[in-house]
Structure 1
Amino acid sequence: MRKVFVLLGYVGIAILMYVYGESLLQWIRQGGTEYMIVTSILATIFALFPIIPYPIIGGVLGAAYGPLGGSLITWIGSSLASILMFAFVRYGYQDWGRKWLYRYDRLSKVTVLFERNAFMTIFLTRLIPIIPSIVVNIYSALSRVSFLRYSIASSLGKVPSMILFATVGSTIVTNPGELVFIALFYGSFLLLVYVFFRLFNRFSHHAKQ
């Protein structure tokens, strides 16, 4: 019954977002600092139920509130949504998921390795916007990763990409010519992340030996 109620609640909110999502997005476009708390709640709901791709939401927030305010609201919404999704899966379905994760030998070994390096793995995957957030949320929740470790690693890792979404949205409105420099800067940042990840793996491998 617990699983059924959790699922029905999630589906019900998803339907409401599908029906009223466009109207809520129009309201966000109007901006206004006095509505930042309400907007942060809406950003969380949009991230939790991605009827509209969240990079678009981040861009709209950046255009409405500027790069600083837009980045903050985008980050709050995305971070809270990931934590809520983690709690949703952990509370409702971890018992089912863990049986599946440890049923197959190869997947079990990958999961154990992930759990040993959970903080760094979650942090690095969050730095790369093309990795689906929902996959990281669900996989982490089904594993033995603690709620606190996941929340901190996930929230910290989301900072750069959320700043990117809001900055791009603000730049499109104010100075579109700077988008090239933003793309070059973030591309360089991802290259550094990749190099750091390779060095981290090499160091971990030598440490175990």
Structure 2
Amino acid sequence: MLKIGMVVLLYASLIAAFLANQELLFTWLAQGGIENLPWMIGTAIVTAAIPFFPFGLIAAIIGAQYGPIWGSLINVISSTIAAALTFWAVRRLLQNGGRSFIAKSKRMDRFMLFFERNAFMAVFMARLIPFVPAQAVNAASAISQMPIGSFVLATLIGKIPVMFVFAFMGDQIFSSLSNVLITGCIYLLFLFMVYICFRWRKHAS
């Protein structure tokens, strides 16, 4: 219980520190440069691990500073590391309690059973959609029996498209707003096609 309290306190401290220094943080992020790259990656990992934090904003700033290719790489690596660390923490501290809580509800228990049977695809699909809360996916995966290797691989692959979109939008936001809008529309179409394929596969099986 003490370990859980320490984790909650750490998260609360990170959120409070960000809120108190957000203007300074965004100014510093906007400077970019190779010399700031390690700190940029560290900041991206921390912010990606904060629940409900709009990481897409940080990803766009990184894209604006380092371009769509390097920006995408930084975003994917940082967010995947953050997801893996969260997965590890939840599994170590909350898995047993989480499973006991879920077992009390037949509906949640059935959902977890379905999730475990389709764990890789579920995580992969969730990573493609920027509106799905990343920490909820991390927690559900950690409480389940999903191997951490499968979780990291599904996260890594699933984050590539959306992190490229964020980085590209950040790179283009000040030079071509039309490119930003077109990219957003193309990605929405891509998500629709993925959904259609998923529904077809589910119906076929």
Considering the TM-score relative to the shorter chain, is it more than 0.5?
yes
Aligned pairs for 1:189-200 within 5 A? 189-200=190-201
1:20-70 CA-partner distances (Å, limit 9, x unpaired): 333222111011123222211111111112575211111111111111121
2:158 matched residue in structure 1: 157
Partner of 2:79: 78
Q: Distance in 2 between matches of 1:51 and 1:148?
A: 25
Find the counterpart in structure 2 of residue 183 from structure 1: 184
* Separation of aligned partners in 1, 2:3 and 2:53: 29
In the alignment, structure 2 segments of 5+ residues that lack a partner are none
Residue 203 of structure 1: aligned partner? 204
Q: Determine the structure 2 residue equivalent to 1:15.
A: 16
Change (3 A) 1:111 1:50: closer
**3-state secondary structure, aligned to 2:67:** helix
Q: CA deviation at 1:100?
A: 1.2
One-letter identity of the residue aligned with 1:170: D
Matches within 5 A, 1:77-96: 77-96=78-97
**Contact 1:87 1:141 (8 Å CA) reproduced:** yes
Alignment check: 8 A CA contact 1:128 1:190 kept: yes
Q: Deviations over 1:94-124 (max 9, x none)?
A: 1111111121122211211110110011101
Tell me the secondary structure at the aligned position of residue 46 of structure 1: helix
Between 43-52 and 154-163, report the one with greater CA deviation. 43-52
Aligned-pair distance for 1:199? 1.9
Counterpart mapping for 1:51-70 below 5 A? 53-70=54-71
TM-score normalised by structure 1 residue count:
0.89
CA contact (8 A) 1:17 1:49 kept: no
**Structure-2 residue corresponding to 1:119:** 120
User: TM-score, structure 2 length as denominator?
Assistant: 0.91
Opposite residue 175 of structure 1, the aligned amino acid is S
Measured against aligned partners, the alpha-carbon deviations of 1:58-95 in whole angstroms (never above 9, x if no partner) come to: 11111111111211112222211111211221111111
> Percent identity between the aligned chains?
34
| Deviation at residue 141 of structure 1 after TM alignment | 1.3
Give the count of matched residue pairs. 204
